[in-house]
Amino acid sequence: MQARIVMLVDLDYFYAQCEERRNPALKSKPVVVCVYSGRTEDSGAVSTANYVARKYGVKSGIPISLAKKKLKDIDAVFLPVDKEFYKEISDRIMELLRSYADRFEQVGIDEAYLDVTQRTKENYHEAEELAATIKHDVLTQQKLTCSIGVGPNKLVAKIASDIQKPDGLTLVRPEEVKSFLSPLPVRRLVGVGKKTEKKLETLGVRTVGQLAMFDVQRLIEVFGRKLGTYFHNASLGIDDEPVQERSEPESVSRISTLKEDTRDLAVILDEAYKLCDDVHSKLLQRRLIYRSVSIYIVAGDLSVHSRSKTFENPTSDLETFKKTVKELFEKFLGESDVEARRVGVKVSNLNKKEELQKQITNFFGFSKH
Ligand code: DCP
Ligand code: CA
Ligand code: CA
Task: Give CA–CA dist 128/130, Å, rounded.
Answer: 5
Its pTM surpasses 0.75: no
- Per-residue pLDDT band for 368 (boundaries 50, 70, 90) equals very low
pLDDT the model gives residue 369: 42
Task: Give CA–CA dist 363/300, Å, rounded.
Answer: 49
| Separation of CA 198 and ligand 3 centre (Å) | 24
- Per-residue pLDDT band for 336 (boundaries 50, 70, 90) equals very high
199 vs 366, which has greater pLDDT?
Answer: 199
Residue of 19, 20, 111, 271 with catalytic role: 111
Q: Contact 231/211 with Cβ under 8 angstroms? A: yes
Is residue 221 annotated as a catalytic residue, yes or no?
Answer: no
Helix and strand totals (H; E) in the chain? 14, 13
Whether residue 245 has pLDDT greater than 90: no
| Separation of CA 167 and ligand 3 centre (Å) | 13
pLDDT the model gives residue 145: 98
User: For a substitution probing ligand 1, which of 14, 52, 87, 255 has the most ligand atoms within 8 Å of its CB?
Assistant: 14
Burial (CB count <10 Å: 0-12, 13-18, 19+), residue 288:
buried
63 vs 84, which has greater pLDDT?
Answer: 63
Task: Please report which ligand is nearest the Cα atom of 14.
Answer: 1
204 vs 190, which has greater pLDDT?
Answer: 204
32: number of CA atoms within 13 Å, CB side? 33
Sheet holding 111-115, edge to edge: 103-108, 111-115, 6-11, 146-151, 169-171
pLDDT the model gives residue 247: 66
Length of the chain: 369
| Separation of CA 136 and ligand 1 centre (Å) | 22
What is the chain's mean pLDDT, rounded? 93
Mean pLDDT, rounded, for 47-71: 98
pLDDT-wise least confident of 119-128, 162-171, 275-284: 275-284
Residues having CB within 6 Å of any atom of ligand 1: 10-15, 47-48, 60-61, 110, 165-166
Mean pLDDT, rounded, for 330-336: 96
Euclidean distance between the first and the last CA atom of the chain, given in angstroms as a whole number: 46
Render pLDDT for 100-111 as a digit per residue (tens, 0 to 9). 999 999 998 999
| Separation of CA 223 and ligand 3 centre (Å) | 27
Whether residue 150 has pLDDT greater than 60: yes
Cα angle 150-152-156, degrees, rounded to a multiple of 5: 65
User: For a substitution probing ligand 1, which of 36, 60, 111 has the most ligand atoms within 8 Å of its CB?
Assistant: 60
- What are the start-end ranges of the H helices in the chain? 14-22, 51-54, 64-70, 83-98, 124-142, 154-161, 177-181, 194-202, 208-213, 216-223, 225-235, 265-286, 318-335, 353-364
